[in-house]
Structure 1
Amino acid sequence: MKTVLMYLFIVSEIKNRIKRTSALKILFHQINLIVERLPLN
């Protein structure tokens, strides 16, 4: 029983990390778009 709980915990942790990294990627992408539109050049 313990092994099943550990497995479920690990799977949920991996899913949370994937969600976090994908959210960060989206955020960075939006920041890049905003920076590109700024008239810095």
Structure 2
Amino acid sequence: MRAAPHGPDLEAGTAGTHVTGHSGIPYGWNDAQPARIGVMPRGP
């Protein structure tokens, strides 16, 4: 998924589109509903 440390991936991550920080869950979704992680770790 992340080919290069500097590119569209980094830019998207900064915006909170698809930045993997915990277990592969976008920060935006994770921060939006942290309670859903335990119920639905799949997400979008």
TM-score by length of 2: 0.27
Higher relative contact order (CA 8 A, sep 6+): 2
Structure with more of its chain in helix, by fraction: 1
Structure with the greater alpha carbon radius of gyration? 1
